[in-house]
């Protein structure tokens, strides 16, 4: 069993950490921003003062925070992870952040003699709790092989995509597909309801055909019932689409449908929905149509 530093115990991070505990690993938590969650400590986790101390004591250091600046802060600020790592240690960033920044972060950690994996996840809070996350990994084969038993405690579909940054690139691609599927389901249900059809029955009919998808199954039901507790917050999906659009500008390509989905998320944000589940994208469309599929 391994000693694992785990930094970032939010909606996704806490159940991921709990699954590592269930697998028998010892967790080391940092209290540099917030107190360590009491339930993790009660189950045997050890609270330390900062990421440097965590990195000094742990073999693996997992980071699961919201965005690129937070990862940089955890890794490279005073008393950050970089001050505590060295040969034999593996830093695993499971946040969803910039592929370009990831390559730079990996190079700086490698200079310390440690190994670096970017390993963002897909599957939301449900997948985090059930340990069924899809995990997209960038890094070298040796580091991946060492980390694989840990990743298998948190996920099911685990793929070494390529070198550092490629895991984050795969995650951005995933978020493009998820956003456009959410928008497609939302537009279809809005169209059906405005035309007088029962959106629940339309969804039921579509589930048996080629339009069937996990988004239609899970998020379609959320749209119909109006249950928009996160899940995965709109603000985080906006962050991921910003990464996609910024990357597209760097590459000189156009992602018109991604840009459109981002605008609908922005409408939701303007309505006060930054913390709604991303399935609430339909509320942006409903606002523009002045019509709700949940009104009788």
pLDDT confidence band for 35 (50 / 70 / 90): very high
Q: Tell me the pLDDT tens digit for each residue of 60-104.
A: 999 999 999 999 999 999 999 999 999 999 999 999 999 999 999
What pLDDT is attached to residue 296?
Answer: 53
pLDDT digits (tens, 9 = 90+) for 146-196: 999 999 999 999 999 999 999 999 999 999 999 999 999 999 999 999 999
22 is annotated as an active-site residue: no
User: Which pLDDT value is given to residue 295?
Assistant: 77
The pLDDT, as a whole number, for residue 37 is 94
State the catalytic residue, choosing from 171, 194, 214, 296: 171
pLDDT in the model for residue 294: 94
Question: Which pLDDT band, with edges at 50, 70 and 90, does 1 fall under?
Answer: confident
Segment 204-258, tens digit of pLDDT: 999 999 999 999 999 999 999 999 998 889 999 999 999 999 999 999 999 999 9
Give CA separation, 112 vs 6, 61, 171, 211, in Å. 19, 14, 27, 49
Q: Is the pLDDT of residue 23 over 80?
A: yes
pLDDT band, residue 119 (cuts 50/70/90): very high
Alpha helices in the chain (DSSP H): 13-22, 38-42, 51-57, 68-76, 99-111, 124-130, 141-152, 166-194, 199-206, 214, 220-225, 234-251, 256-270, 281-289
């Amino acid at each position: 069993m391994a000693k694992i530093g785990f930094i970032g115990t939010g909606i996704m991070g806490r159940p991921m950490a709990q699954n590592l505990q269930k697998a028998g690993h010892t967790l080391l938590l940092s209290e540099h921003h917030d107190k360590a969650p009491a339930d993790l400590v009660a189950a045997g986790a050890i609270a330390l003062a900062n990421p440097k101390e965590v990195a000094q004591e742990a073999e693996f250091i997992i980071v699961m925070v919201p965005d690129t600046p937070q990862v940089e802060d955890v890794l490279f600020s005073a008393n950050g992870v970089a001050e505590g790592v060295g040969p034999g240690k593996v830093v695993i960033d499971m946040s969803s952040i910039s592929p370009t920044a990831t390559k730079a972060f990996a190079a700086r950690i490698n200079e310390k003699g440690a190994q670096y994996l970017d390993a963002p996840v897909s599957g939301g809070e449900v997948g985090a709790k059930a340990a069924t996350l899809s995990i997209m990994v960038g890094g070298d084969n040796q580091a991946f092989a060492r980390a694989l038993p840990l990743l298998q405690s948190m996920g099911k579909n685990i793929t070494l995509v390529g070198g550092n940054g490629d895991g984050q690139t795969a995650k951005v691609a995933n978020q493009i597909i998820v956003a456009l599927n959410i928008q497609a389901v939302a537009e279809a249900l809005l169209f059906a309801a405005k035309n007088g059809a029962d959106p629940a029955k339309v969804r039921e009919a579509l589930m048996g055909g080629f339009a069937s998808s996990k988004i239609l199954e899970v998020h379609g039901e959320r749209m119909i019932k109006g249950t928009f507790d996160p899940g995965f917050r709109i603000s985080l999906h906006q962050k991921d689409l910003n990464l996609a659009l910024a990357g597209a500008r760097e590459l000189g390509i156009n992602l018109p449908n991604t840009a459109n989905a981002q605008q609908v998320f922005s409408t939701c944000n303007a309505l006060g929905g930054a913390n709604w589940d991303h399935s609430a994208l339909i509320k942006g469309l409903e606002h523009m149509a002045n019509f709700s599929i949940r009104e009788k």
